[in-house]
């Protein structure tokens, strides 16, 4: 049914109601059925976005958008699938099943190469979320990490690249001057912190908060975003919003609205922490209590346009300088950055 037909039907129902026509039960039922058809048709006209998103801060800023979409309050319809690891998102993007995704910054570049330029980066949704924590009281600077064993997750991903860069920029050889033991999950790192005296670990939020709630000896000793800023002119970028170029091209107006609604969601989450934390718990991203404590440390944001291009480009250049394969073997060209 076209919009004109829908509006005519709405008008007809309104006239019938005002004139008192059909006050019996049958006519009331007919009106209700007509109203149901109207709402179904109007809902069907919304552009559906299939979005793959990584569990953690990368998705936390989207919960207001997700909640509003479920209530029919958004201009588009957003179907968000939350994944535990970035590797789970790759097939959805490569196959085209996901129209958009929230992924680690370096993976956005890898996917650009892997799909032969079929995707674009549209926004930065999360900045630095990494923190060095310890169960003792011996770390107050990066230099204090020299000679220490550091437990971490993220071998071959953002935590490793960030740690190596900050260490190297402070004159510490990541291969010789420290020992880094990588674990597959944050829970394993938390276990090492609980079992080992004076242990040191690199963890992202909200896992820092979760671990701290179970270990009262744990304290944040270094904010890795602050340490990054001391040695680099680029921003420490964690999460990026990407989308299929074909989907953007076929839904230009809807995609622009999506970015506006997503930006509004991140602002709401940052301003209404308790309410947002409850939703984060509902979506099983992290428990509500931990989310409420962690949100102020998650650096949730929404950066687009030239500022986005500068932020992502500068960060990828740093990673490329360390290990070209971390960004897919080559830095993406200008077509990678969505300018709308």
Taken as a whole, the chain contains a residue count of 340
Residues with pLDDT less than 70, the chain: 1-44
For helices 63-70 and 273-282, what crossing angle results, to 10°? 70
Could you tell me the sign of the dihedral formed by the alpha carbons of 253, 256, 261, 262, in that order? positive
pLDDT at 15: 42
Taking the C-alpha atoms of residue 58 and residue 316, their distance in angstroms, rounded to an integer, is: 18
Taking the C-alpha atoms of residue 254 and residue 76, their distance in angstroms, rounded to an integer, is: 7
DSSP state of 295: G
Contact between 183 and 189 under an 8 Å Cβ cutoff? The reply is yes
56: phi > 0 → left, psi -120 to 50 → alpha, else beta; which?
left
Q: Which of 302, 295, 296 is nearest to 261 (CA)?
A: 302
Q: Which of 140, 212, 150 is nearest to 179 (CA)?
A: 150
Taking the C-alpha atoms of residue 151 and residue 183, their distance in angstroms, rounded to an integer, is: 7
Could you please report the per-residue DSSP string of 36-50? Answer: HHHHHHHHHTSPEEE
Per DSSP, the three-state class of 333 is coil
Residue 283 Cα to chain centre, angstroms: 14
Show the tokens assigned to 127. 């900045």
Could you tell me the sign of the dihedral formed by the alpha carbons of 171, 174, 175, 177, in that order? positive
Answer yes or no: pTM beyond 0.85: no
Between the CA of residue 305 and those of 129, 140, 261, what are the distances in Å?
22, 37, 16
Q: Which of 291, 153, 152, 144 is nearest to 210 (CA)?
A: 291
DSSP state of 47: P
Domain 48-124+241-336, what fold? D-Maltodextrin-Binding Protein; domain 2 (3.40.190)
Contact between 340 and 253 under an 8 Å Cβ cutoff? The reply is no
Contact between 231 and 324 under an 8 Å Cβ cutoff? The reply is no
Could you please report the per-residue DSSP string of 47-86? Answer: PEEEEEEESSHHHHTTHHHHHHHHTT-SSSEEEEEEESSG
Question: Which residues, including other chains, have CB under 8 Å from residue 234's CB and lie 6 or more apart?
Answer: 311, 314, 315, 317, 318
pLDDT at 134: 95
Taking the C-alpha atoms of residue 157 and residue 176, their distance in angstroms, rounded to an integer, is: 20
Domain 130-231, what fold? D-Maltodextrin-Binding Protein; domain 2 (3.40.190)
Taking the C-alpha atoms of residue 162 and residue 213, their distance in angstroms, rounded to an integer, is: 25
Q: Which of 176, 219, 174 is nearest to 200 (CA)?
A: 219
Show the tokens assigned to 237. 């970028």
Show the tokens assigned to 201. 């670990």
Taking the C-alpha atoms of residue 133 and residue 198, their distance in angstroms, rounded to an integer, is: 10
Terminal-to-terminal C-alpha distance of the chain = 31
Show the tokens assigned to 53. 């998103």
């Amino acid at each position: 049914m076209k919009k004109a037909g829908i509006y005519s039907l709405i008008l007809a129902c309104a006239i019938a109601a005002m004139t008192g026509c059909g006050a019996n039960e049958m006519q009331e039922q007919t009106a209700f059925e007509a109203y149901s058809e109207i709402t179904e048709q109007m809902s069907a006209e919304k552009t559906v976005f299939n979005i793959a998103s990584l569990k953690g801060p990368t998705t936390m800023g989207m919960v207001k958008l997700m909640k509003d979409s479920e209530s029919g309050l958004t201009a588009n319809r957003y179907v968000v699938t939350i994944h535990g690891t970035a590797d789970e998102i790759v097939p959805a993007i490569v196959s085209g099943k996901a129209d958009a995704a929230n992924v680690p910054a370096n993976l956005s570049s890898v996917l650009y190469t892997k799909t032969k330029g079929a995707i674009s980066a549209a926004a930065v949704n999360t900045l630095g979320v990494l923190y060095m924590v310890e169960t003792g009281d011996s770390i107050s600077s990066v230099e204090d990490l020299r000679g220490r064993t550091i437990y971490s997750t993220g071998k071959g991903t953002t935590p490793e690249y960030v740690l190596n860069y900050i260490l190297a920029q402070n004159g510490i050889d990541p291969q010789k001057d420290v020992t880094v033991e990588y674990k597959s999950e944050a829970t394993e790192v938390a276990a090492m912190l609980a079992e080992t005296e004076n242990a040191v670990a690199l963890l992202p939020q909200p896992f820092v908060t979760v671990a701290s709630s179970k270990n009262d000896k744990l304290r944040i000793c270094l904010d890795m975003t602050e340490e990054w800023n001391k040695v680099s002119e680029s921003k420490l970028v964690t999460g990026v919003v990407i989308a299929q170029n074909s989907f953007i091209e076929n839904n230009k107006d809807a995609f622009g609205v999506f970015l506006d609604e997503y930006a509004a969601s991140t602002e709401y989450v940052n301003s209404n922490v308790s309410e947002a934390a409850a939703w984060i718990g509902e979506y099983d991203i992290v428990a509500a209590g931990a989310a409420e404590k962690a949100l102020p440390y998650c650096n949730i944001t929404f950066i687009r346009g030239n500022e986005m291009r500068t932020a992502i480009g500068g960060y990828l250049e740093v990673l490329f300088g360390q290990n070209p394969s971390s960004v897919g073997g080559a830095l993406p060209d200008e077509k990678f950055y969505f300018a709308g």
